[in-house]
Amino acid sequence: MDWAEKYRPRHLQDIVGNTSAVRQMYEWAKAWTPQSKPLVLYGRPGIGKTSSAYALANDMNWEVVELNASDQRTKPIIEKIAGSSSTTMSLTGAERKVIILDEADNLHAHADRGGARAIVDIIARSRQPIILIANDYYGLAKELKAVTEPVQFRSLQARSIVPRLRQICSGEGLSCGEEALAEIAGRAGGDMRAAVNMLFAAGIGQSEVSVADIHTAQKDERSTIFDLVAAVFKGRSDEALMKVSYEVEDTPDAALQWIEGNLQHMPDFASRARGYDAIARADEYVGLTYRRQYYTLWRYATAMMLIGVADAAGGHGIHGKISPPERWGKMSRSRRQKAIRAGLIRKLAAEAHIPESTLADEFFTPITLLVEQDPARYVRELQLDADELNLFLQDKTAAARIIREVAKEAKAAEKEAEKASKRKKTEKKADPDPPENPDAEKRSERAAGQSTLF
């Protein structure tokens, strides 16, 4: 078991920081009646929202039913649980069942606003306590905000992260220097889960952790995209930039959006224009990568974007805050979804040589069913990017991972084909009529991506 799970707080008093949020939750629970509004715990990932909800349930002797709010299957389940009265509910003798609904801010990304509506209806009729969890309070549907009580969770201070890490070290019999703990706490950027994971990566199987171990330990994904943006604007060397880019787990198109989103840090107008120029060219290559499914191009796209923008920035650094990408920021989530859907329909209709309206009306639903069954296959065949794949998937966190896996596979196939052709050349020298290597070639053909759907 990883340490973040092993050391998940079991009681409210074990929750680090966020004392007023924890108090608010406890008071709400003590005074709970079926008329009480559900709580919405909101704040960035890894700071204890889910843990606090469970700890509260534990302290109150409530049973927990955790459901994913954006899952269509959730509605009938909650209806069943929420509609029943407490006395008939529990087999374990617990007084109540608390329904914990994760990803409550992700609801209206689903087709219509029906998801949010359904939850609002359930809330109105519920005879059981409900806790919603969200990363982004502003992403919560209006109608949900109206019937709930917000509880804000804040990022943790490095100085409150350190004692928790120390506890874990002693639990694991790990000797860990203060300097190393401070380094982890600082790097985690307020995210306890990231801190615990960093400690785990540096300390698992060791008896001692020093600062050097942390430098080589795997870093949290969320912190490395920030490192990449900072490195670009600091004008680090080409080699250093490429090295950071390999560590970042995000795909180049995501990195591109992050860098574009921070071009306001350019020292003047001319350098900003040059920055945009580098990004535009890199964007063309990213597009080509997806169209051709030729992932080697990613490297060129990455190099063009990082080195081009770093050159334009001239090492002036970041003045102020690194901000998340804005490309879609001004567009509401539903408009953005529509734009992505329209683009995808255009692309697929062109490929199938049928009118867009026919594709949208008759084929989009069957395609959705196919993609849901085997997303990786259709990423290859329909050449979907992460945004497009997201249109089809319930699990919004899966798309980037699937795209990365497909890319990795294609890269491996390419390498194999390269090796095979090298082998062929050397064999040719020895034997003028060598046998083919059909396996590697077949795989590289597949990597080149021919749709069998149309």
Per the annotation, binding residues for ATP are 43-50
Residue 168 binds to ligand ATP (criterion: CB under 6 A): no
Residue 155 binds to ligand ATP (criterion: CB under 6 A): no
Biggest CA–CA distance in the chain, Å, is: 86
**Residue selected from 10, 13, 23, 45 as contacting ligand ATP according to rule CB under 6 A:** 45
Task: Give least dist CB 6 to ligand ATP, A.
Answer: 8
**Is the Cβ of residue 4 or residue 231 nearer to ligand ATP in the bound state?**
4
Task: Give least dist CB 378 to ligand ATP, A.
Answer: 28
Residue 2 binds to ligand ATP (criterion: CB under 6 A): no
Residue 58 binds to ligand ATP (criterion: CB under 6 A): no
**Residue selected from 12, 21, 47, 371 as contacting ligand ATP according to rule CB under 6 A:** 47
Residue 7 binds to ligand ATP (criterion: CB under 6 A): yes
User: Within 10 A of 102 (CB to CB), how many other CB atoms are there?
Assistant: 22
Query: Which residue is closest to ligand ATP by CB?
Result: 48
Residue 200 binds to ligand ATP (criterion: CB under 6 A): no
Task: Give least dist CB 50 to ligand ATP, A.
Answer: 3
From 43-51, 111-119, 216-224, 417-425, span contacting ligand ATP (CB under 6 A) = 43-51
Residue 210 binds to ligand ATP (criterion: CB under 6 A): no
**Is the Cβ of residue 58 or residue 90 nearer to ligand ATP in the bound state?**
58
Residue 190 binds to ligand ATP (criterion: CB under 6 A): no
The CA-based angle 347-352-353, given to 5 degrees, is: 95
From 190-198, 217-225, 232-240, 288-296, span contacting ligand ATP (CB under 6 A) = 190-198
Task: Give least dist CB 177 to ligand ATP, A.
Answer: 21
Residues in the annotated binding site: 43-50
Residue 46 binds to ligand ATP (criterion: CB under 6 A): yes
Residue 185 binds to ligand ATP (criterion: CB under 6 A): no
Residue 192 binds to ligand ATP (criterion: CB under 6 A): yes
Residue 12 binds to ligand ATP (criterion: CB under 6 A): no
Residue 16 binds to ligand ATP (criterion: CB under 6 A): yes
- Tokens 């709580």 -> residue: 39
Binding-site size, ligand ATP (CB under 6 A): 20
**Residue selected from 196, 254, 371, 407 as contacting ligand ATP according to rule CB under 6 A:** 196
Task: Give least dist CB 101 to ligand ATP, A.
Answer: 12
User: Within 10 A of 342 (CB to CB), how many other CB atoms are there?
Assistant: 12
CA distance 150 to 140: 11
**Is the Cβ of residue 46 or residue 115 nearer to ligand ATP in the bound state?**
46
Residue 123 binds to ligand ATP (criterion: CB under 6 A): no
Residue 222 binds to ligand ATP (criterion: CB under 6 A): no
Task: Give least dist CB 258 to ligand ATP, A.
Answer: 20
- Tokens 């604007």 -> residue: 233
**Residue selected from 25, 49, 420, 440 as contacting ligand ATP according to rule CB under 6 A:** 49
Residue 25 binds to ligand ATP (criterion: CB under 6 A): no
**Is the Cβ of residue 250 or residue 385 nearer to ligand ATP in the bound state?**
250
Task: Give least dist CB 53 to ligand ATP, A.
Answer: 8
CA dist 226 → 302, 324, 325 (Å) = 16, 9, 11
Q: Residue 313: is it exposed, middle or buried by C-beta count within 10 angstroms (0-12/13-18/19+)? A: buried
Q: Which residues would be at the binding site for ligand ATP (CB under 6 A)?
A: 4-5, 7-9, 15-17, 45-51, 135, 164, 192-193, 196
